[in-house]
């Protein structure tokens, strides 16, 4: 990244790809941002800038770098890949953490469990200018895309037809709506919608409150 690119990011403000932090707050809070970027489309965590774009700088570039490295390696599972850049803006030192979109999704806060448990794992994704907790459905979708487990042969049954019919009238559908529509458990409805995403029949979207909804990909 070049300085002019950093200045442009600061001018644009926080969004899907950019998060400002006035200072390193805690390993867990920073891990949350790194995880969300890695699980979504990648992005930049800029330390030394406040939410209102005010420039404060950091006390020590070396100290920030060590904290970021420790966070990415010990507080994220699996560890997060990142690169660091340092800039002087208004005579204050700024640290930029660039996180690429991961090929090992989903990343989660370190819980020291051998396997990811969808019911308890803290997995984050980026939604607009926020990092939000991912739903069980989103976790399953992330896991399937990471493993390149797209469904190439998928039989359209009555459940899927009901989804398409619903989406002809409504723009979106949720797990709860499908459960009520077909009088089936939410678990079964969730499984159906996730499989349709994997088969590239639906898109999954997350609201800022963490709730998911699905739209047609056709």
pLDDT at 160: 93
Q: What is the pLDDT of residue 153?
A: 72
CA distance 174 to 9: 34
Regions of the chain with pLDDT less than 70: 146-152
| Alpha-carbon distance values, 210 to 49, 95, 141 (Å) | 26, 29, 15
pLDDT of residue 192: 94
Check residue 25 and give its pLDDT. Answer: 85
> What's the predicted TM-score (pTM) here?
0.88
- What pLDDT does residue 148 have? 55
In this prediction, residue 152 carries a pLDDT of 64
Q: What is the pLDDT of residue 49?
A: 96
The pair of three-digit structure tokens given for residue 153, joined into one six-digit string: 């042969």
Predicted confidence at residue 150, as pLDDT, reads 59
What per-residue confidence (pLDDT) applies to 144? 81
119 vs 137: CA distance, rounded Å = 11
- How far apart CA 16 and CA 179 sit, in angstroms, is 31
Q: What pLDDT does residue 218 have? A: 75
Could you give the domains of the chain?
3-131 (3.30.950.30), 142-216 (1.10.10.10)
Per-residue model confidence as pLDDT tens digits over 78-104: 999 999 999 999 999 999 999 999 999
Identify the pLDDT of residue 94. Answer: 96
How far lies 1's CA from each of 64, 91, 195, 208, in Å?
Answer: 18, 19, 38, 29
């Amino acid at each position: 990244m070049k300085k002019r690119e950093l200045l442009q990011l600061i001018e644009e403000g926080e969004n899907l790809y950019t998060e400002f932090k006035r200072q390193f707050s805690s390993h867990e809070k920073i891990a949350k941002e790194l995880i969300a970027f890695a699980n979504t489309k990648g992005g930049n965590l800029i330390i030394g800038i406040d939410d209102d774009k005010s420039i404060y700088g950091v006390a020590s570039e070396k100290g920030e770098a060590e904290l970021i490295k420790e966070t990415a390696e010990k507080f994220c599972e699996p560890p997060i890949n990142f690169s660091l850049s340092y800039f002087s803006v208004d005579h204050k030192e700024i640290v930029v953490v660039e996180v690429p979109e991961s090929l090992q999704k989903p990343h989660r806060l370190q819980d020291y469990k051998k396997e990811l448990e969808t019911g308890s794992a803290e997995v984050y994704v980026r939604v607009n200018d926020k990092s939000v907790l991912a739903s069980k459905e989103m976790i399953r979708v992330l896991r399937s895309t990471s493993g390149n487990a797209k469904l190439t042969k998928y039989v359209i049954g009555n459940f899927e037809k009901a989804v398409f019919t619903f989406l002809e009238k409504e723009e979106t559908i949720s797990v709860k709506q499908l459960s009520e529509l077909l009088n089936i458990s939410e678990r079964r409805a969730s499984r159906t919608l996730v499989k349709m995403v994997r088969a590239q029949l639906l898109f999954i979207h997350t609201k800022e409150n963490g709730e998911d909804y699905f739209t047609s990909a056709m």
